[in-house]
Structure 1
């Protein structure tokens, strides 16, 4: 196996110059850099990452923790994170908690062990006090979910206003009996989207029937099963606002299973605008989140923490938009919020 000395000898430079090229540290002419890179390729040299870590106490690796890797929402967020990470020479590792808070804590413990340089959490169900204590010592960023009142850099949308926007769209279409399929109530996003739904009903003086609010778990199956339950009510809803697109698609399938039509019998609105939302029939009206940008901004904040530069806006709230398609009737368009 080739060593850094072999590369230096072939390129006729010092080992320090090879190291500067590997670190993209500057102070190397373009001609010398190309010569070193050609030597690296010719010798198939693999840098000793462990040795570099031991010398610099840096891994040039970040960990992204997701609650459920099977949820398609996170794929675009991860792409945004990786695009910025690769641009700055960082590798991205992935940790899937499978909605288990204990796994969140286990991943968090990798920071004091110096196994990664920083972490981005796309889930925030861990104890607030624990995360805040760790964030005072190590680079941590929250994205998508957040911890209320915590002084931790965060990137998200305003879930309350966006849920209110989705519900108000159904109200403008003439619906008065609107159901809500929520996510798990131990997740702040679920509570925020429920709150936005409730605010829209209150502002339009519509009755908030507790039977029309059903708690799901963000899966297609829960959307399907809970909608069957709603349709069995003596006074079923004429519209459903689901807290994510997978549950909304499950709701549409349930309406069809019962012989109904979407949107003629029941209108459906989702949340997130995953790729399937525009492909599914009928195409899904939904709240579109800027998933790729959320990932980009989260990684930029994390890099600022790792490098010790100040992040002027530690709490970033990005814009969402209501994408109107076929599942609720009305004119197809986009409304920016």
Structure 2
């Protein structure tokens, strides 16, 4: 292995001079710097990044912990965070928690060991203990898409209750009163916030809330499929379903096709996220479009600001979403209402 001593010998300078060139800690003449850089290139010498970070007290690396990097929604957020971080001079270590707070905790231990400058966290569930672990080590942290009620930190998300209400109101405006809701995991804040919005829309329109029309899902296609199978096999099935994310909505469409239930003629469906596949689905999915790229960009900006001013008050950044109407919803006809 090539060492700093080998570089110093090849360049004809002291070890201290090589260190100053590598770390930029003292002025070195252009002639001497050129000799050192040439020796480093000839010997293929790469400085130890961890050792440099200890000297500089920064690693120029941030950690990103996601619950499911196979979900296109989180993949787009990750892309945005990586792009924005690179523009700010940071590299990103990506960790996938699989929605498991214990796995999330082990990855946070790894990021602490790597001495990252900060962490962007999409919480797996109640991640307050994991956040406190980062806080105890003074590692700046920003939560994205979700929050943890007992945690006081910067966060970037949308108001999920408002947009859950918007999704449901769209179906009500189409004439539906038998509207079901497929939720996400129990302890994930967007899941129960969107259900709260669903219930509020029904109450405002004086529509009965049927508890058997609210079925637990898991934010994955198969979870949506199983929940839809249950709903569509009722003696009195819903005429519309609000799935709390797009992937579960795909599962609903599959369950409907198995039962020869036509979408949107027999069943209207609204999703949530507007991942890029939703445009190409058959039929294209009506959904709530989340600002995924802006979410990643704002998260990086918030983290960098937190690194520079660690004592500033925590901020909750709420971004705007919108309803995108496509072919999976349809006005309910009088004949359909009778059926």
2:108/2:130 contact within 8 Å kept: no
- Report what 1:72 is aligned to: 72
1:8/1:36 contact within 8 Å kept: no
- Report what 2:267 is aligned to: 266
1:327 aligns with 2:308: no
CA–CA distance in 1 between the matches of 2:168 and 2:33? Answer: 58
1:248 aligns with 2:277: no
1:19 aligns with 2:22: yes
CA–CA distance in 2 between the matches of 1:32 and 1:201? Answer: 75
- Report what 1:143 is aligned to: 144
1:233 aligns with 2:212: no
CA positional deviation for 1:99: 1.6
1:192 aligns with 2:193: yes
Over 3 Å counting, the alpha-carbon distance change for 1:224 and 1:130 in structure 2 is closer
SS in 2 for 1:65: strand
SS in 1 for 2:182: strand
Gaps of 5+ in 1: 331-337
- Report what 1:166 is aligned to: 167
Deviates more, 1:310-319 or 1:204-213: 310-319
CA–CA distance in 2 between the matches of 1:31 and 1:286? Answer: 61
- Report what 1:59 is aligned to: 59
- Report what 2:336 is aligned to: none
CA–CA distance in 1 between the matches of 2:275 and 2:27? Answer: 45
- Within a 5 Å distance, the mapping from 1:1-337 to structure 2 comes to 6=7, 15=18, 18-19=21-22, 44-110=44-110, 113=113, 115-128=115-128, 131-132=131-132, 134-135=134-135, 137-148=138-149, 150-308=151-309, 314-329=315-330
CA positional deviation for 1:243: 0.4
CA–CA distance in 1 between the matches of 2:34 and 2:276? Answer: 41
Over 3 Å counting, the alpha-carbon distance change for 1:112 and 1:93 in structure 2 is closer
1:14-61 deviation per Cα after TM superposition (whole angstroms, max 9, x unaligned): 64663367xxx9999999999998886666442321221332343222
SS in 2 for 1:154: strand
Over 3 Å counting, the alpha-carbon distance change for 1:17 and 1:180 in structure 2 is same
1:57/1:114 contact within 8 Å kept: no
Over 3 Å counting, the alpha-carbon distance change for 1:120 and 1:26 in structure 2 is farther
CA–CA distance in 2 between the matches of 1:157 and 1:8? Answer: 58
Count of aligned positions: 327
Over 3 Å counting, the alpha-carbon distance change for 1:115 and 1:253 in structure 2 is same
Over 3 Å counting, the alpha-carbon distance change for 1:174 and 1:88 in structure 2 is same
Q: CA RMSD in A?
A: 3.1
CA–CA distance in 1 between the matches of 2:166 and 2:31? Answer: 57
- Report what 1:333 is aligned to: none
CA–CA distance in 2 between the matches of 1:208 and 1:178? Answer: 9
1:282/1:327 contact within 8 Å kept: yes
1:160/1:192 contact within 8 Å kept: yes
CA–CA distance in 2 between the matches of 1:84 and 1:31? Answer: 36
CA positional deviation for 1:98: 1.4
CA positional deviation for 1:189: 1.1
1:120/1:141 contact within 8 Å kept: yes
1:227/1:251 contact within 8 Å kept: yes
